[in-house]
Structure formats: structure tokens, C-alpha cells
Structure 1
Amino acid sequence: MLTKQVIKSIFIFSAVTIALGAVLIHMPVKAQQSTVESVSKVIDNFESYETGTIADTWKYITKSGDELPVREALEAGERFHVMQEDGNKYLRVETQNESIRLSQVNGSAINWNIQEYPYLKWNWRALHLPEGASEKDKNDSGGAIYVTFDTDWLGRPKSIKYTYSSSLPVGTRVGFGPLTVIVVSSALEGPVGSWKTVERDLLEDYEDVFGGFLKKGTPPDRPLSITIWGDSDSTNDSSKVDFDEIILLKEPSM
């Protein structure tokens, strides 16, 4: 026969177990969210905007470092609007004899330590690239993602520009002072019009570009910004490129 003390102990244990079970039942969603957030940081997936509207969390950064709203930065022939296809929202960037660059600023729109999240991944789709554009001379890039890490001793942005090139093969690198262009997608790979996924190890790219003799090969922990770029002014042509799922990762996924 069980004593009262044993029965009481069993009751207390059962109550605690049930209480813990109730807590655990309610944990999976938050735990899952926490896990997702711990391995990736979403810069923008464009799902929070109304279809047809401007992606207004992005800003135009002036030379003095001021942040201007997208509406004040867009000119005739430029579009920076959210589209929807098969239930998925994405950003469409269009230029007509113009260039456009809009950014998410670290410490403002995003909170990013590159040592924690060193991988940048995004999807894009080129629908039209400037005819005859070459990053080596005319420097028109129908679509690009910029990462600005820091400024040099002259105050110029130290950046890597990942481009979708009209004419240069993937892997091409071109330097313009503190800016390095790396071709990561190209019209030479085949007809445009399909989605492509790009993933870059930013620490590795920074070391390759800025490291070396008497040069620092490690970026600051907190890069300055991530920028979406569209450009067709030098060729007097147009560009139309879609962007989606711009995220930072702790570990490579490809």
C-alpha cells in the first residue's frame, strides 16, 4: 500500500510533468522561429509590402550619409516596386537611361555583425540587361548587390559589387579604387528570364579583394550597408531585374 507521503510525491511529480508538458506544447513555434533567426537574418523577402507599392524600407544614401526616402530618390524612368507571381512577392528594379541604388543601412534598417553572419544569399532574375554593357568600361550593370564594408583613408566607400553582367563571364573581377566588381551571374550563361540563386562568403571575398601586403584582410564587424543597384545610363538603354529573398547566413547553404 502506498503511504500518503508517497502518494503526495507522485502527485507533485505528475503535476510538474503536466505543467512542463503544457509549456513544451506551446514552445515549438517560438523555438522554431528562434532557430531560424539564429541561423539566418532576413534583409528583405518583400512579403511585408502591398503588391504594386514601393519597397520603402530601403533608402537612398547621399554623399553626406543622409538617408532619403525612396520616393524622393526615384526619378523618371526608375521603378523600385513590389510585384507578385504565383503567390510570391519580389522586388522589380527598372531603369531607363538611369541608375538607381537603394540601401539597407546597418544600425538603422538592419542589425548585422559580419562575424556572426558572413554569408550573403539572394535570388534574382534578369528580364532585360543593357545591350553592350560591360563593367570593364561603361560600367553599366542591369542588376547588382553592393556590400559596403567601410571607408578608406580618403573617406571613400570600400565596397564589393556583385553584378549580373550583360557581357562578361562569371568570375570576372574589375577594380575601381576602393570598389571591386565581381560578376556572379551573366547573360553568357544562357537566355535571361529565369531565377538564379547566388551565395557569397563575404569574409573570403573581402580577404581576396582587400587583404594582402600592408592591407587589412578582415572587415569591420559591422559593415555599413547592403545596396540594390540597377543601371543603364552609360549605354542609354534600359534594365529590368527582379530581386528576392535577400538573407544573411551563419553557415553556407549551397
Structure 2
Amino acid sequence: MTHFVLRAHSTRSGRAVQQLGLWIGVVALGVALSFPVTGRAQSTSSHEDLAPTIVDNFEDDAPGTFPEGWVFVESDENIRSYEETRDPGEIMEVREEDGNRYVQLVTEGEALRYTKRNGVDFEWNLKDHPRLKWRWRAHQLPEGASERDQNDTGGAVYVTFGSDWLGRPKSIKYTYSSSLPVGTTVSFGPLKVIVVDSAREPRTGEWKTVQRRIRDDYRQVFGERPPDRPVSITLWSDSDTTGDEAKVDVDDIELLPAR
């Protein structure tokens, strides 16, 4: 689906090439993000009076600009900017509607992904904030795409954890699917896909709120207890395999305390 640095370009060599590209891209991202950030205070707060942590609501960004704090992680030592990494057919840009600002992800036969890092751009300990919430709206999803086959995903939120015993990165990819029903899970080794919204559901094209209990999801797909500190959150849009267009809005990414 992508090559080593995840600059997404279409290939038509069959499923084997698609899956190889997917794996290389995920490994490139995961290896870069798998090293713990040192020198950061670990959370020791009581659950009482914990407030939500805002990862991004895009209200401080000017419309028409790339949102501050999101980066392209090429390696642990090489963090690149939007200007350095975007290709024609890729847009990640803040928009404004009725006084609310949000980010819009657009890909035309391409794929993009930009990341915020735990311990650098925000602080996240699952003991204090076990839930992840965001809103999104799908204007267009890549036609004919499937997380099982074509791999394209018009919108996705990645949570990356550490690595498995082979050094492969472990991630959960929450997707807005073109074709698969909500609740579908797909496994690519240590990369787990969970469909949390779908074109098969009503109200496609309207804002929807997604809320996930990260520990529960991790136990479901990996069969073990998650680490307390995820490594990063990544926004993703991908239409390179189908060669189609995707346009998805994302807003109000928050970490929530236990109920």
C-alpha cells in the first residue's frame, strides 16, 4: 500500500504487493515510534477530578493551514514537516464551519498520515485516561475499498503501542470503512484493524462521535494487557490502491478518564 517512508503511491501488482507495502509502512512508523520518551513525568494522578485531555480540537489553528503539532515520523531521529512530505493529491488542512474548526483529510490516489507523540505533544496514561474519543465526518470514501483486500481507508485513527517480541510495532487502526460492517476486525500480525464506522451505516456525511475503551480493545485483539502508555496517535487517509478519492473531516480528539 505504501513504500518505506509511507509516501503512498499506487501499485497494481496484486494483493501480495499491497500487503507488503502495508507491512513496510506500518513497520516504518511503528519502529520510529516504539522507543520510549525519557525525561517525562509519569502520571500518578488520582482518578478523582481528572479532566479530559485534549489531543487536538484545532481551534488554535488558522483555517487553511496545516494543524500545529502533527508531524511525519520517518524515524526516531527524523521528524519531517508537512511541507517536506506531502505529495500532490494529499491535503491535511484546517477548515472552519459555523464557527467550529476541524481538520480535513483529502487523498486522491495517495495516502497520508501525520502523528502526535505521547510524551512529546501530549501526555497519556491509560490508568488515568482509558478512553479515546473523536468526531469525524465522511464526505467521500474510496469506492470498492476493503480493509481485507484493497486496504484503502478513507479515514483512520491509529493508536500505536510498543513492539512485540520480534520487534514488530503493535498498533490498533480504527477505520471508517467503505464496505465492511462496524465491529469487523482484521489482523495483519501486530497491526489490528477495527472498523468503528462504515458507509453501510446511516448518516454517512454527518458528524459522528466515536468513543473507544483502549484497554478493552487491546485485550480483544491482542489477548493481553496493554502497556499503560501508548506511543502515539496518528491520523490516516488512504486511497492509493483504488486510485479513488477520499475526503474525511476529524475533530475533538480527546482522552477521557474512567466513567
State TM-score, norm by structure 2: 0.79
1:65 Cα shift?
Answer: 5.8
C-alpha separation in 2, matches of 1:93 and 1:166 = 15
Contact map agreement 2:50 2:128 (CA 8 A) in 1: no
Equivalent positions of 1:25-64 (< 5 A) are 38-64=50-76
User: In structure 2, what is the equivalent of residue 101 of structure 1?
Assistant: 113
Tell me which amino acid in the other structure corresponds to 2:235.
Answer: I
SS in 1 for 2:220: helix
User: In structure 2, what is the equivalent of residue 86 of structure 1?
Assistant: 98
Whether 1:240 and 2:247 are equivalent positions in the alignment is yes
1:64 Cα shift?
Answer: 4.8
Tell me which amino acid in the other structure corresponds to 2:163.
Answer: T
Whether 1:206 and 2:215 are equivalent positions in the alignment is no
User: In structure 2, what is the equivalent of residue 143 of structure 1?
Assistant: 155
Tell me which amino acid in the other structure corresponds to 1:42.
Answer: I
SS in 2 for 1:62: strand
SS in 1 for 2:200: helix
User: In structure 2, what is the equivalent of residue 251 of structure 1?
Assistant: 258
Contact map agreement 1:150 1:219 (CA 8 A) in 2: no
Q: Given the superposition, is the C-alpha separation of residues 155 and 37 from structure 1 closer, same or farther in structure 2, using an over 3 Å criterion?
A: farther
User: In structure 2, what is the equivalent of residue 220 of structure 1?
Assistant: 227
Unpaired runs of at least 5, structure 1? 1-34, 212-216
C-alpha separation in 2, matches of 1:245 and 1:172 = 24
Unpaired runs of at least 5, structure 2? 1-46
1:96 Cα shift?
Answer: 0.8
User: In structure 2, what is the equivalent of residue 130 of structure 1?
Assistant: 142
C-alpha separation in 2, matches of 1:209 and 1:118 = 16
Whether 1:77 and 2:89 are equivalent positions in the alignment is yes
- Which protein shows a greater Rg? 1
Tell me which amino acid in the other structure corresponds to 2:237.
Answer: G
Q: Show structure 1 runs of 4+ deviating over 6 A.
A: none
From 231, 238, 242, the equivalent of 1:231 is: 238
Superposed CA deviations along residues 198-228 of structure 1, whole A, max 9, x for unmatched, are 00000000111112xxxxx222221110000
Q: Given the superposition, is the C-alpha separation of residues 53 and 136 from structure 1 closer, same or farther in structure 2, using an over 3 Å criterion?
A: same
1:56 Cα shift?
Answer: 3.1
C-alpha separation in 1, matches of 2:53 and 2:172 = 20
Contact map agreement 1:39 1:251 (CA 8 A) in 2: no
Tell me which amino acid in the other structure corresponds to 2:236.
Answer: W
C-alpha separation in 1, matches of 2:180 and 2:51 = 33
User: In structure 1, what is the equivalent of residue 9 of structure 2?
Assistant: none
User: In structure 1, what is the equivalent of residue 175 of structure 2?
Assistant: 163
SS in 2 for 1:189: coil
Q: Given the superposition, is the C-alpha separation of residues 242 and 236 from structure 1 closer, same or farther in structure 2, using an over 3 Å criterion?
A: same
Tell me which amino acid in the other structure corresponds to 2:105.
Answer: V
State TM-score, norm by structure 1: 0.80
C-alpha separation in 2, matches of 1:126 and 1:132 = 15
Contact map agreement 1:62 1:68 (CA 8 A) in 2: yes
